[in-house]
Structure 1
Amino acid sequence: MKLAEALAERAEATRRVEQLRSRVVGSARYQEGETPPEDAAQLLADAGEVLDELESLIRRINRTNAAADLGEHGTLTDALARRDVLRLRHSLVTAAADAAAGTGERGYGRQLRSELVMLSALPVAELRGQADALAREIREIDVRIQRANWEVDLLD
């Protein structure tokens, strides 16, 4: 099995656990004289089995990510960490540029001569350039990660 397939199975198992959780909660209490919609104990047992499978799958995915070498980018785990931090950095730089530019504020300029003038404390154009470079780097590393997901075999 390829890593990408395991990631899809992990996502499906996570969705299944959430569905079972919702059904357990909906069936955990019922009115006297009524029949519960479903057997909550059985649903809980089913969820436990799915969670056990999910744990095993996550362990295998993590082992594979730590062992998969992407060359200059280190392991797949290293690349995932890099991508996560790049996304955070991009979000920070974009928010700073938006704030400095006054994006989202009502009215960008003065309406009356008596109103205060708002000035930018940061170089907006430079920040936008940094954000563009970060977005490009995120896309590049994401492509490498996706390629590896389809090339790397899942470890036991």
Structure 2
Amino acid sequence: MAILVRMKLAEALALRADASRRVEQLRSRITGSARYQEGEAPAEDAASLVGEAAEVLDQLETLIRRINRTNAATPAEGGTLTDALARRDVLRLRHSLITSAADAAAGDGQRGYRQLRSELKMIPALPVADLRRRADDLARQVREVDTLIQRLNWETELID
């Protein structure tokens, strides 16, 4: 994997993903060839695979450093791209939390009625409709921040 000198941030992110996948593939091949039965030949040369993985990891480190520097230096609506990434991550967590709370309060996946009068009725402890509205608003915010991040990724040159 050659690291280009000039590229957009989005291209570097794609290269980072490719390098991460390559490392995992090499890990699998290394573990499959690290031991072999006496009298047999290993499927692959594990030592050369370890060397190849080291090269890919060095390139990955360089990419990650450049991506992080670029994210920290790129302005994005009242902060930096790093700030926008943090905002998106937390919005996703908030959305997940509120959705889970609404699902639990609504009894999703559970029987919501009594078969016998002697059974206890389950009552929601949280306002389901309000939680669903909050989840919808959070999903909209995630989409907006994600769109901003994607636009900046394609507009921004990667910093050395």
Which residue of structure 1 lines up, in the alignment, with residue 44 of structure 2?
A: 38
- 2:3 alignment partner in structure 1: none
Q: In structure 2, what is the equivalent of residue 97 of structure 1?
A: 102
In 1, the alpha carbon distance for the partners of 2:90 and 2:102 equals: 18
Segments of 5+ residues of structure 2 without an aligned counterpart are 1-6
Deviations 1:3-32 (A, max 9, x none): 000000000000000000100000000011
Shift in Å, 1:70: 1.0
Q: TM-score, normalised by structure 2?
A: 0.95
Distance in 1 of aligned mates of 2:86 and 2:77: 15
How far apart, CA to CA, are the structure 2 residues paired with 1:21 and 1:56?
20
Q: Deviation at 1:71?
A: 2.9
Aligned to 2:136: 132
Q: Using the aligned pairs only, state the percent identity.
A: 73
What stretches of structure 1 move > 6 A for 4+ residues in a row? Answer: none
Q: Which of 136, 148, 153 is the matching residue for 1:149? A: 153
Q: What does 1:9-48 correspond to in 2, within 5 Å?
A: 9-48=15-54
Q: What is aligned with 2:4?
A: none
Aligned counterparts of 2:70 and 2:147: Cα–Cα separation in 1: 18
* Alignment size in residue pairs: 154
TM-score normalised by L of structure 1 = 0.98
**In structure 1, C-alpha distance between the alignment counterparts of 2:113 and 2:89, rounded to whole Å:** 37
Q: Does 1:5 align with 2:15?
A: no
Structure 2 residue aligned with 1:83: 88
**Aligned partner letter, 2:95:** H
Distance between the aligned counterparts of 2:71 and 2:126, measured in 1? Answer: 39
Distance in 2 separating the partners of 1:97 and 1:9: 38
1:119 paired residue among 98, 117, 123: 123
Q: CA deviation at 1:142?
A: 0.3
For 2:119, the aligned partner's letter is: E
Partner of 2:76: 70
Unaligned runs of 5+ in 1: none
SS of the aligned residue for 1:148 comes to: helix
